[in-house]
Amino acid sequence: MKLQDTLELYVKAAVKALFQSELESVEFQATRKEFAGDITVVVFPMLRVVKGNPAVIGEQIGQYLEDNVDLVKGYNVVKGFLNVEIEDSYYVDFFNTIKDQNTYGFIKDKDNKAVMVEYSSPNTNKPLHLGHVRNVLLGYSVAEILKASGKNVYKTQIINDRGIHICKSMLAWQRFGNGETPESTGLKGDKLVGNYYVEFDKAYKKEITELVSQGQSEEEAKKNTPILLEAQEMLRQWEAGDKDVVALWEKMNGWVYDGFEETYKAIGVDFDKYYYESQTYLLGKEFIAEGLKTGVFEQDPDGSVWCDLTEDGLDRKIVLRADGTAVYMTQDIGTAIQRIKDYPDVGGMVYTVGNEQDYHFKVLFLILQKLGFDWAKNLYHLSYGMVDLPSGKMKSREGTVVDADDLIQEMADTAEDISKELGKLDDYSEDEKKVLYKTIGLGALKYYILKVDPKKRILFDPKESIDFQGNTGPFIQYTYARIQSILRKSNLNDDVSLITATALSINFDEVSLHEKEKQLIKQLEQFPEVIQNAAEQHSPALVANYTYDLVKDFNSFYQNVSILGADSEHEKVFRVALSKSVGQTIKNAFSVLGIDVPERM
């Protein structure tokens, strides 16, 4: 049982004994650093059931706890705040229960209902870019955090492999490609197809200019360019199953999928199941037809189908065009239903999609509820802000996107430059250096993005992210490596039984915890709750910033307390064991963020 839970029982007992009153709950907060104490009881909420001066009430409860509760060492009251000091033995007993747990903070017992987490979900007309990177890192980390919290999790994505966007790339390749392939050009397939998306846009803009010069308005010209009309016709041919169009679509999408896989592998994320819009939009059409019969949807005179959500505070949403072709909502309805068919144990889903789609998901979730699906109440949109660069926003049509592969390489190169400046890798082989540069570079990128609340917009600066001081991935990785160095020098790292036996045999009548040791254990105690809170809030930022706080506490401990030069063997072994637990917790925390930690730096 956590300290807070234990203490709550005793505070309730104190109030009952002293004031013959029942408290429903007790409010706690961390004790402010300028006051003595390990945990603070907030007295003011008790005034609803206990009448009197809050400072006097705090004194009476504090004295009761000191007299009757073994783990309470002392107390002080500041206005309406009761600061409680806890016996060192409590923290040592707690530490002894966790110090050999390699999965400390994680729950193994799985809930009956699984969660499906969707992330990435790219279009097949361009490579992944910086915006996708935030999406992928967020979704993967939330999936790992949910797993660590005790959920059964499936990772998935929906690949937007149909629609006008891919037809634009296909048509441009037909017109300008001269039979180019990834093999003939040496380009990754997603980059090659993305180049033709840019080529389409250039030709499209040129034709707009020509039509405007002939007397059309710009709005008319945008709709009437021959190249756009041809792309729209290609989409109709694809939906009609035209053999040649489908064959070209399969070939170019295949190039893109191969390119995506390379990027996912480089960034260190994976998926359990892929869904394709081309396979799910038809199921969406089926349920729209059913919904028409039951009154969930309505058909306009032009043949288009809508869902009227005005009574729910939203508006009318189109779900099928007048010509019968699908819209995004169509395939999203079909995809959600297909996922539950494939995974009947799924009780909820998390959609990792940018905040520009907030309204879309409100509508989707409401439509699925109106169609009668109970699980639709457990759908969550993990909405996140965009990523900007110091140079400004990215535009994929104009080819000014920060490519994900280039970004990963730039991070490794920046890590290499900084590491060389620091001169810490003289005894590494070239292969070891290459692996370490990538570990540091990716760690910097992932941490910089994940430490920010998902809802906030990010200004990403690669050089700022790779700093060996401050709230950065490399600073935390460096601290982990420092701990591993301590363990190696102690000659105790492989002898768990020695650490365990010695730590357990410390006589606390003779040895008390240093304040820095106690602070570290208090911080370690919070980790399981941080994981649960991060899962509940779908926020890797809670884990990232907890880890930074833990590392700051460890470095303060390292600077103020001698570990290997301790006065006694008991103290040395205890401090090595404590360092080891901190290192393991850093590793566990970073694992759910998708970040590797190096043994040496």
When pLDDT is averaged across residues 96-122 and rounded to a whole number, the result is: 89
For residue range 369-406, list pLDDT tens digits in order: 999 999 999 999 999 998 887 765 444 344 456 789 98
Report residue 546: phi and psi, to 5°.
Answer: -60, -45
Structure tokens at 74: 């002392």
- Contact predicate 523/552, CB 8 Å: no
When pLDDT is averaged across residues 295-318 and rounded to a whole number, the result is: 96
**Residue 112 CB-half CA count within 13 A:** 0
- The pLDDT of residue 111 is above 70: yes
Q: What is the pLDDT of residue 394?
A: 40
Measured distance CA(436)–CA(420) in Å, rounded: 12
When pLDDT is averaged across residues 24-50 and rounded to a whole number, the result is: 94
228-237, 374-383, 458-467, 484-493: the lowest-pLDDT one: 458-467
For residue range 261-288, list pLDDT tens digits in order: 999 999 999 999 999 988 898 899 999 9
What's the mean per-residue pLDDT of the chain?
Answer: 91
For residue range 239-251, list pLDDT tens digits in order: 889 999 999 999 9
Burial (CB count <10 Å: 0-12, 13-18, 19+), residue 355? middle
To which H or E segment does residue 56 belong?
helix 54-68
349: confidence class by pLDDT, cuts 50, 70, 90: very high
- The pLDDT of residue 509 is above 70: no
Strands (E), 417-568: 458-459
With tokens 């290997």, the residue in question is 564
- Contact predicate 367/333, CB 8 Å: yes
Non-local CB neighbours of 175 within 8 Å, separated by 6+ positions = 203, 227
Between residues 556 and 163, the one the model is more confident about: 556
When pLDDT is averaged across residues 466-487 and rounded to a whole number, the result is: 92
When pLDDT is averaged across residues 560-564 and rounded to a whole number, the result is: 95
Report residue 352: phi and psi, to 5°.
Answer: -90, 100
Report residue 116: phi and psi, to 5°.
Answer: -105, 130
- The pLDDT of residue 563 is above 50: yes
Question: Both ends of the chain: CA-CA distance in Å?
Answer: 38
Return the percentage of the chain with pLDDT > 90, whole number.
Answer: 75
Q: What is the pLDDT of residue 391?
A: 63
When pLDDT is averaged across residues 32-56 and rounded to a whole number, the result is: 94
Measured distance CA(127)–CA(212) in Å, rounded: 32
Return the percentage of the chain with pLDDT > 70, whole number.
Answer: 95
When pLDDT is averaged across residues 478-489 and rounded to a whole number, the result is: 94
For residue range 589-600, list pLDDT tens digits in order: 999 999 999 998
Burial (CB count <10 Å: 0-12, 13-18, 19+), residue 162? buried
Q: What is the pLDDT of residue 500?
A: 52
465-469, 492-496, 581-585: the lowest-pLDDT one: 492-496
225-234, 427-436, 501-510: the lowest-pLDDT one: 501-510
539: confidence class by pLDDT, cuts 50, 70, 90: very high
Q: What is the pLDDT of residue 395?
A: 44
- The pLDDT of residue 54 is above 90: yes
Bridge partners of residue 351, in order along the sequence: 118, 381
For residue range 518-533, list pLDDT tens digits in order: 999 999 999 999 999 9
- Contact predicate 12/46, CB 8 Å: no
463: confidence class by pLDDT, cuts 50, 70, 90: confident
417: confidence class by pLDDT, cuts 50, 70, 90: confident
Q: What is the pLDDT of residue 131?
A: 85
Q: Residue 512 is which amino acid?
A: S
For residue range 62-91, list pLDDT tens digits in order: 999 999 999 999 999 999 999 999 999 899
When pLDDT is averaged across residues 537-545 and rounded to a whole number, the result is: 98
To which H or E segment does residue 331 belong?
helix 328-342
Helix axes 404-422, 430-450, angle to 10 degrees: 120
Specify the 3-state DSSP secondary structure of 67.
Answer: helix
